[in-house]
Amino acid sequence: MNWTAIRAIYIFEMARFFRTLLQSFVSPVISTSLYFVVFGAAIGSRIDEVDGVSYGAFIVPGLILLTVMTQSISNASFAIYFPKFIGTIFEVLSAPLSFVEVVIGYAGAAATKSFIIGLIILVTSFFFVDIAIQHHVAMLLFLVLTCISFSLMGFIIGIWAKNFEQLQLVPLLIVTPLVFLGGSFYSISMLPPVWQTISMFNPVVYLISGFRWAFFGLSDVPVGASLAAIALFTCACLAIIGWIFKTGWRIRQ
């Protein structure tokens, strides 16, 4: 394993993140605060509690995952698409690197960025609501797995995209609706039975449910199912990336 090269890609990508501190840190904090104001204070004042948890606190795990998922995809897809767009990808392709090393470097950096942002949102939420996390290790595990799996997905999107419009297409038209309909701001049990059944086909439901369980001990689906879902999703992404590098699809002629 060429760890020096992985480190080089990782540091290079993280440097980009720190070059744009305002966009990287301040932007998610402001949007999260707005969510708290709108959903927590305005709407939350009309909803007392969900399964014994104040509505303001209830939406925290969903809010964190909403941002983490979109940031992971956005960071990872941009990280690999931009070198393709400006032509610097030749350097990565001609370097003595295997696809595993390239993915660890790019997706690892994207996952780290999202993880940092997730923690920032969690800290921000402490200023708005009282939260007592029940399963700290599980919470971190779910957060890390979500960051990694969605960064892998972002990497695939970055390879697939032929232009900036396509880069935004999947996050905008698929991921965001899935996250919003995945129980970020409500419990699945609050939905009519038909919609509860339909929601079970939304993979994001499993992630949010598991993450919320780590916070409050409450879940819409069994924790094991949540872990299995995220593991399955990660494996699927890895398999696709493996195929991409083996065939050179859209990166190597």
The pattern of x and - marking residues 166 through 205 that bind other proteins according to CB under 8 A reads ----------------------------------------
Interaction pattern, residues 137-156, with other proteins; x per rule: CB under 8 A: --------------------
Question: By CB under 8 A, what part of segment 69-108 binds other proteins?
Answer: 82-83, 86-88, 90-97
Residue among 250, 252, 249, 246 nearest 100 (CA): 246
φ, ψ of residue 49 in degrees (nearest 5): -145, 155
Is residue 8 a contact point for other proteins (CB under 8 A)?
A: yes
The identity of residue 139, as a single letter, is M
Please say which residue, 86 or 194, places its beta carbon nearer to other proteins. Answer: 86
Residue/partner pairs of 204-209 with CB below 8 Å, 24 or more apart: 204/65, 204/69, 204/178, 204/179, 206/230, 207/65, 207/69, 207/142, 207/146, 207/182, 208/61, 208/62, 208/65, 208/179, 208/182, 208/183, 208/184, 209/183
Q: Which of 16, 148, 22 is nearest to 81 (CA)?
A: 16
For the chain, the residue count is 253
Q: How far is the CB of 252 from other proteins (least distance, A)?
A: 6
> Nearest approach, Cβ of 7 to other proteins (angstroms)?
6
**Considering only residues 23, 248, 249, 250, which one is a binding residue for other proteins as defined by CB under 8 A?**
248
Q: Point out which span in 15-23, 49-57, 136-144, 163-171 binds other proteins (CB under 8 A).
A: 15-23
In DSSP notation, 50-84 reads ETTEEHHHHHHHHHHHHHHHHHHHHHHHHHHHHHH
Residue in this structure with the two tokens 């129980």, named with its chain if needed? 183
> Could you say whether residue 246 binds other proteins (CB under 8 A)?
no
Q: Which of 4, 137, 193, 224 binds other proteins (CB under 8 A)?
A: 4
Smaller CB distance to other proteins: residue 17 or 215? 17
Q: How many residues belong to the site for other proteins (CB under 8 A)?
A: 27
Residues lying near other proteins in the complex (CB under 8 A) are found at: 2, 4-5, 7-9, 11-12, 15-16, 19, 82-83, 86-88, 90-97, 248, 252-253
